[in-house]
Amino acid sequence: MKRQQHKKRRIIFSYSFLGTIILLLILAKVASGIEKDGLLENTTQSSKTKEVTKKQSSTENKVIISETLTTSSQTTESTTEEQKLEKAISLTFDDGPSPVTSPKILDTLKSENVTATFFLLGQNVSGSEQIVKQIKNEGHEIGSHSQSHPLLTSLDEASLKSEFSKSDTAIKNATGEKPRYVRPPYGAAKKREAEIINRPLIEWSVDSLDWQSKNKAAIIQQVVANTYPGSIILMHDIQPATAEALPDIIKQLKEQEYQFVSISELLDNPTDIAHYFGANDHKIVD
């Protein structure tokens, strides 16, 4: 009887031990699966983090490259503009418009893509309004050269005011705008005249002497030999020889890398009542 009970206990113990082993194995397997899942999740998260970091780095690099290219472009544009200003000059034409020679000069300026400034006489605007409109529509600047080209210092106050009132009216009727600048006939104006005119007085630094020589070759030589950066060049669009000389003048100055701009561009939109002879070259009227 005792033997049977002892045998029964051994069997129960064996099963209990085996069950414990099996349970431990199951727990170990479950633990291993959880660890693998955790490792997989960590690996996935790490991979995602690296991918996001890589994308962020790529985006940052693109932004840096973009900013660099933009800065480089802005620097190039700035440098080009500075170079342009360093070699800028202004062609100016007095005494027009002329129905014969002004259209020829405008054709040359258009074909060469050159901007100029025209100082018109009020008395010549009448009957040539279409030419005046063409000057404006083709991007050129218009100033007043008085009504009838008198010596301003010899006029009384009423006559002086009348000269520019009439000229301003004629030009405004043709263009819709009052001229911002005045070129005194003969370049002569003192404090009294300047205060009555009440606008910048545009003089010149290179005189073509076309009114004197009336010779194509002489005009070309005079202008090309004396032009320098910042020059204001004086010519007359009523002179046939000037119309003939202009294509060669432009060609030779372009070969020297000069840039042709209006008076406003050259002088940076001046407003002071002063004599202006060229870029960075003006003096107060006394």
Q: How far is CA 161 from the centre of its chain?
A: 37
Q: Is 236 a catalytic residue?
A: yes
A 10 A CB-CB count for 101 gives 21
Among residues 236, 237, 275, 282, the one annotated as catalytic is 236
Among residues 94, 95, 168, 210, the one annotated as catalytic is 94
Look at strands 281-284 and 274-278 and give their pairing: antiparallel
Whether 91 contacts 155, CB under 8 Å: no
Q: What does the DSSP 8-state code read for residue 176?
A: S
Q: Is 94 a catalytic residue?
A: yes
Question: Of 246, 281, 283, 250, which is closest to residue 266 (Cα–Cα)?
Answer: 281
Looking up tokens 């104006």, which residue turns up? 189
Q: What does the DSSP 8-state code read for residue 182?
A: B
Amino acid symbol at 240: P
- Rg of the chain over CA atoms, in angstroms? 43
Q: What angle do CA 64, 65, 70 make, to 5 degrees?
A: 100
Q: Which residue numbers are catalytic?
A: 94, 236
